[in-house]
A and B are shown apart, each in its own frame.
Chain A
Amino acid sequence: MAGGIRRAVIVHAGWFMLGIALLVPILDPLLPLEWKIAGHMNRIFIFAILGLGLNVVTGYTGLLNLGIAAFMAIGAYSYAILTCDIYPFRLGFWSAMPITICIGAIAGVVLGLPTIRLRGDYLAIVTLGFGEIVQDTLKNLDNITQGTQGINPLPAPTFWGHALNTQDKVAWYYLLLAFLALVVLVSRNLEHSRVGRSWIAIREDEIAATCMGVNPVKAKLVAFAMGAALASTSGGIYAALFSNSGEPGNYDFQISIIALCIVIIGGMGNISGVLLGAFVIGGFNSIVLDKLTTLLQQMGMVNTQNVLTVPGNWKYMIFGFALILAMRFKPEGLLPSRQLKAELHEAEEDERAENARGAA
């Protein structure tokens, strides 16, 4: 009975959050200038999609991937090359996006095939290297990718004949929200299906899973392709939103680490956890730091000569500190999946029981 009520609350919490998210652009103009957030939400949505992509690989399947930003870069550049009018393809948003997603998935399989037998640290090193290779390739293939300039400007996506310019903040907000909702829906559908179960089974115990007839090669490749496809989606949307592919340096190791922080701090293998993580970390990154800088500037406390007084410079230190605190006090993340929480606290309880027995 109590479980039923709790479940209902959780289900409705999702709808409640969606309601708030839908109302943000309507309420935002009413807020005073210092409190406006709608403009920052776009970035958070993109990071949430990226985090959900990494969640498939690292959260469900348990493969540590430190190169997820490379797939975002592949998505952004594919989208840019397909749409920009300095190239012959000149596709629209709606035809370029599916191709971008497919290219991402293929890139995921290409990385996955030779690394399929690696796990843990070794896989982390390979994916880390892959991230660097993609960046360097994009930088040096300057006759195709325009080197460090990035590809711009990209044409605005059209939506039933209406062009979505960068200024159409509200329309972009809803478009990104729709994409995020779609990604959440697909992730959730997969989690509770044969595919998702085989991913989680491989994370839990690969030998047992194989002995039950789960093909580990296939399951891992599908996970890699799915994660890369989602990261590529986020890259494509990012390029479309800013009308710019960004330069290769935009997709460096730090993006991968932020995505990993989102997944770990939010709660590995749990969609709402990843969304919360994206909101907390993305919100801190683009809203809190931004507002803090403005506030300090107004108070005259920012001295451009002294790097210590610029809040943005403290960003990675605060991230690192948050990660340490999270690992110490909430290793399962802010919103863990129910089972993971049971698992991590079971060991503690055993220990406590052992101590109690020892005392008695």
Chain B
Amino acid sequence: MTSLLSVDNVTIRFGGLTAVNEVDLNVERGQIFSVIGPNGAGKTTVFNVITGVYEPSCGCVRIDGRPGARPLSWRTAIGFGFIALTTAAGFAVALNIRELWDTAITANYVYQQAFPWAKSFSDALTHLRDQPWTWNILPLLTGALVGLGGSVAVWRRARCTPDVIACGGVARTFQNPRLFHQMTVLENVLVGMDTKLRSRFWHAALRLPFFYREYKHAQAKAMELLEFVELDDDASAPAASLSYGHQRRLEIARALASEPKLLLLDEPAAGMNPSESDDLLLLIRKIRDRGIAVMLIEHHMDLVMEVSDRIAVLDYGNKIAEGTPDEIQADPKVRKAYLGTDEL
């Protein structure tokens, strides 16, 4: 059975700086997996690669054994063809628009008489055909090329973006809470639910019954999640009005709203007092009990050692150790990274 998340041999370079160097990580289902390391070790960069914010320089990330990128489907390919044809036609028409209008419309239209559409259309085609090649073949080819090239380029760039990864079942929180401050707490959770909602533009614009049904359901689910993180009393408050600890919990609720298989928490206990971080520990366990694997970056060692099933240690972009909390605590290389070498 494949791991839920496998990071294979991932390297990221920013210019000359290698932020992450050939790192392998495997997270199994139902596991709490911590990534620790000194500041600047590349922990957040690894998270950014997993969620598609950065593209790895080499190596790959698989979720459930599949790469996160969107596959090329028949529908997309037909879409490319359609866009290429439309731009080709658009280029050819746009370049000849004056003469086309004169030959096809003005010449055929007798004031307030019925208009011969078929004749107008064939006139337009004849006119285009009789042009020298620079005025019909060339714009058609250029248009097709621009349309095809443009759509393929856009698709390639968009096939592995964070939203695609999020649809694949990976949700995250950020090192500094990045909430939608002007929205209410409930709306923040509803944004997280976006991938699960099926209502389209027309459902919302015209308030079709489907919209109401889905809205009620979504709202109930969002309230349930807010109860889960104990924020249900603040549901209608603006997110900016929450305290720092509450903002972190709201971020977790928002991430859970997309029903992820894997939740990435980037320093969730930063800035929390001991009792808050105890609550957090319980919350992380509760999340694991819902069947969601949790990947954690954290500096509070008490929390990490207590909650983790497995720990990986990064230092200067290299993975220097991986194992259970006990193994990590005993590892001399980890001690060296954190405390420096003994100089007796």
Interface residues of A (CB under 8 A from B): 85-88, 90, 113-114, 116, 141, 143-144, 186, 189-190, 193-198, 200-201, 204-205, 207-217, 222, 337-340, 342-343, 346
Known: A143-B101, A212-B191. 8 other contacts (CB 8 A): A86-B111, A87-B109, A141-B98, A195-B201, A197-B183, A201-B191, A209-B191, A339-B184
Q: B163 — which chain A residues lie within 8 A by C-beta? A: 210-216
- Can you name the residue of chain A whose Cβ is closest to the Cβ of B114? A88
Number of A-B pairs whose CB atoms are under 8 Å? Answer: 135
| Inter-chain contact B204/A196, CB cutoff 8 Å | yes
Q: Tell me how far the C-beta of B176 lies from the nearest C-beta in chain A, rounded to whole angstroms.
A: 11
Bound: A216/B162 CA distance, A:
10
| Inter-chain contact A200/B183, CB cutoff 8 Å | yes
Knowing A143-B101, A204-B181, A216-B163, say if A197 contacts B187 (CB, 8 Å).
Answer: yes
Bound: A116/B53 CA distance, A:
17
Interface flag for B167 (CB, 8 Å): yes
| Inter-chain contact B111/A85, CB cutoff 8 Å | yes
| Inter-chain contact A338/B238, CB cutoff 8 Å | yes
Interface flag for B336 (CB, 8 Å): no
Q: A189 — which chain B residues lie within 8 A by C-beta? A: 204-207
| Residue with the highest number of chain B CB atoms closer than 10 Å, among A186, A196, A208 | A208
Q: Top 7 nearest A-B pairs by Cβ distance?
A: A193-B204, A339-B182, A213-B166, A88-B115, A213-B195, A208-B178, A204-B180
Q: B197 — which chain A residues lie within 8 A by C-beta? A: 194
| Inter-chain contact B183/A212, CB cutoff 8 Å | no
Bound: A212/B171 CA distance, A:
7
Bound: A143/B190 CA distance, A:
52
Q: Tell me how far the C-beta of B194 lies from the nearest C-beta in chain A, rounded to whole angstroms.
A: 5
Which of A90, A113, A186, A200 lies in contact with B180, CB distance below 8 A?
A: A200
- Can you name the residue of chain A whose Cβ is closest to the Cβ of B98? A143
Interface residues of B (CB under 8 A from A): 51, 53, 97-98, 101-102, 105-106, 108-109, 111-112, 115, 120, 150, 154, 158, 161-163, 166-167, 171-172, 174, 178-184, 187, 190-192, 194-195, 197, 199, 201, 203-207, 211, 215, 238, 240-241, 254-255, 257-258
| Inter-chain contact A85/B112, CB cutoff 8 Å | yes
Q: Tell me how far the C-beta of B241 lies from the nearest C-beta in chain A, rounded to whole angstroms.
A: 7
Knowing A190-B205, A200-B180, A211-B162, say if A143 contacts B191 (CB, 8 Å).
Answer: no
Knowing A190-B205, A216-B163, say if A204 contacts B102 (CB, 8 Å).
Answer: no
Q: Tell me how far the C-beta of B83 lies from the nearest C-beta in chain A, rounded to whole angstroms.
A: 9
Q: Tell me how far the C-beta of A140 lies from the nearest C-beta in chain B, rounded to whole angstroms.
A: 9
Q: B183 — which chain A residues lie within 8 A by C-beta? A: 197, 200-201, 204, 339
Which of B109, B180, B204 lies in contact with A208, CB distance below 8 A?
A: B180
Bound: A143/B197 CA distance, A:
49
Q: A190 — which chain B residues lie within 8 A by C-beta? A: 201, 204-205
Bound: A270/B179 CA distance, A:
20
| Inter-chain contact A208/B211, CB cutoff 8 Å | no
| Inter-chain contact B102/A213, CB cutoff 8 Å | no
- Can you name the residue of chain A whose Cβ is closest to the Cβ of B104? A88
| Inter-chain contact A194/B204, CB cutoff 8 Å | yes
Q: Tell me how far the C-beta of B55 lies from the nearest C-beta in chain A, rounded to whole angstroms.
A: 14
Q: A215 — which chain B residues lie within 8 A by C-beta? A: 163
Q: Tell me how far the C-beta of B106 lies from the nearest C-beta in chain A, rounded to whole angstroms.
A: 7
